[in-house]
Amino acid sequence: MDLLEYQGKQLFARHGLRVSEGRAVTTAEDAVAAASELGYPVVVKAQVLIGGRGKAGGVKLAGDDAEVRKHAQNILGMDIRGHVVRTLWIERASDIAAEYYAAVLLDRSAKKPLVMFSTHGGVDIEQVPKEMIVRHHVDALEGLSREEALAVAEQGGADADVRDGVADALTALYDVWISEDATLAEINPLIVTPAREVRALDAKVSLDGNALFRHPENQSLSDSENEDPIERRAREQGVQYVKLDGDIGILGNGAGLVMSTLDVVAQAGGAPANFLDAGGGSDADTIKQAVELILANDAVKAVLFNIFGGITRCDEVARGLIAAFQEIEPSVPFVVRLDGTNDVEGRKLLADAALPNVHPAKTMNEAAAMVVALAAGQPAGAAA
Ligand code: GDP
Ligand code: MN
């Protein structure tokens, strides 16, 4: 779950990280009112879930009412690489002596939190030579100590008089990352002002959606405007759905089974269009909802149902599927693999119903080969 800059800054402020005062607004009139409250000069900033807003013309300095109004009117509705601006952040402008970079993220290969710091901030961090970025792994049980943070600041070449300020910022950023269950907390630029104060001028924060239940106060931060519409629908329906880039719709019962289904389809040369865990649900409504979600993605050319019957019996799933198909009449082929409790009965039900465009399969590998062939416009038997 990605946060807008101003939402990230609000989290920063809660953890003692210094940010500039500002207001979120949605109209040019409110932008002017906010600016005169804050005092000039201000910065008018597009709030979209994509970086490089400055270069795209989405960040502008303004010295008076007329300038704020002009920039607000220009930026509202602006399309920044596919993201339409609906909210502005009006912030008291800062004087900048230096632009640094700081981030905390999880280094999966090292299985440790990673603190990154560079005195070459303000630009795309991918463009900064590796040797100019300090990478410091943190012991997750110990946390980031003040000594470590100071060492990182020094190693990165922060001016001596701001090392304390940088260490404060790094420890606060680490605190944001760990205690808010963030997957990324990034500041670019972390500025040094002429008065030698260290402050976050930008904020890029992603929260772990699966940990959101631990942070009810963050629930409202999800910017559903920018969320994928199918994922949003799924979330509202309480279905575990993740959109992927391929053209083969996937449904399974149980997260582990769905994950291995994705693997098997990829191995058979196909590209999954989604992850969908139907859980223990097998009634017609659940199946119908799931089929509708999968087919809401226009890229889907064929669908694989991979059901392993346990507590959820295969005959129940077959009945659910038959009822769902009567209502939806899907236009793309379905491969259905039923195995486990009552699988023989389930397959017989499906065969008797003779649903158009439904191809039963016995094993996962067979099912994957069939669905890959069907998605490529070949007959189901082509790959088998
Ligand atoms: P991004 O382009 O999406 O990363 O947006 P940023 O929030 O990082 O802003 C882009 C750039 O605008 C920064 O790197 C600064 O150089 C400049 N900028 C943003 N806020 C201010 C400010 O208050 N004062 C000054 N002088 N420049 C600013
Ligand atoms: Mn930035």
222 C-beta neighbours (distance < 10 Å), count: 18
Write the CB contacts of 211 (distance below 8 Å, at least 6 apart in sequence): 181
> Ligand 1 pocket, 46 CB below 6 A?
no
Pair 369, 383: CB distance under 8 Å:
yes
pLDDT-derived band at 364 (thresholds 50, 70, 90) equals very high
The question of whether 186 is a catalytic residue gets the answer: yes
Best of 201, 204, 205 to mutate for ligand 1, by most ligand atoms within 8 A of CB? 201
Residue 125's nearest CA partner among 199, 58, 204 is 204
CA distances from 5 to 45, 86, 367 (A): 9, 13, 45
Instruction: Output the six-digit token pair for 36.
Output: 């005169």
pLDDT-derived band at 235 (thresholds 50, 70, 90) equals confident
Write the CB contacts of 326 (distance below 8 Å, at least 6 apart in sequence): none
pLDDT of residue 231: 86
Residue 326's nearest CA partner among 295, 356, 368, 283 is 356
pLDDT of residue 384: 46
pLDDT at 382 over 70: no
User: pLDDT tens digits, residue range 13-70?
Assistant: 999 999 999 999 999 999 999 999 999 999 999 999 888 999 999 999 999 999 999 9
Which ranges of the chain would DSSP assign to H, the alpha helix? 5-14, 28-38, 65-75, 146-155, 163-179, 229-237, 255-267, 284-295, 314-328, 343-353, 364-375
DSSP state of 48: -
Determine the Cα–Cα distance for residues 19 and 148; give it in Å rounded to an integer: 23
Q: Do β-strands 248-252 and 204-207 pair in parallel, antiparallel, or remain unpaired?
A: unpaired
User: pLDDT tens digits, residue range 336-349?
Assistant: 999 999 999 999 99
Residue 271 dihedral angles phi and psi, to the nearest 5°: -125, 110
Q: Would you call 224 helix, strand, or coil by DSSP? A: coil
Closest ligand 1 atom to Cα of 94: 23
> Ligand 1 pocket, 94 CB below 6 A?
yes
Determine the Cα–Cα distance for residues 207 and 257; give it in Å rounded to an integer: 26
* DSSP for 190-209, written as a single string: EEE-TT--EEES--EEEE-G
CA 224 to chain centre: 11
Closest ligand 1 atom to Cα of 20: 23
User: pLDDT tens digits, residue range 244-284?
Assistant: 989 999 999 889 999 999 999 999 999 999 999 988 666 77
pLDDT of residue 312: 81
pLDDT at 313 over 90: no
pLDDT of residue 199: 98
User: pLDDT tens digits, residue range 128-157?
Assistant: 999 999 999 999 999 999 999 999 999 999
Pair 43, 59: CB distance under 8 Å:
yes
Closest ligand 1 atom to Cα of 122: 14
Determine the Cα–Cα distance for residues 62 and 28; give it in Å rounded to an integer: 13
pLDDT at 224 over 60: no
Distance 152 CA to ligand 2 centre (A): 21
Distance 273 CA to ligand 2 centre (A): 32
Pair 320, 284: CB distance under 8 Å:
yes
Identify the active-site residue in 67, 91, 186, 366. Answer: 186
pLDDT, average across residues 291-320: 91
> Ligand 1 pocket, 189 CB below 6 A?
yes
Mean of the per-residue pLDDT values of the chain: 93
pLDDT at 178 over 70: yes
Helices (H) and strands (E) in the chain, counts: 11, 18
Pair 134, 156: CB distance under 8 Å:
yes
The question of whether 101 is a catalytic residue gets the answer: yes
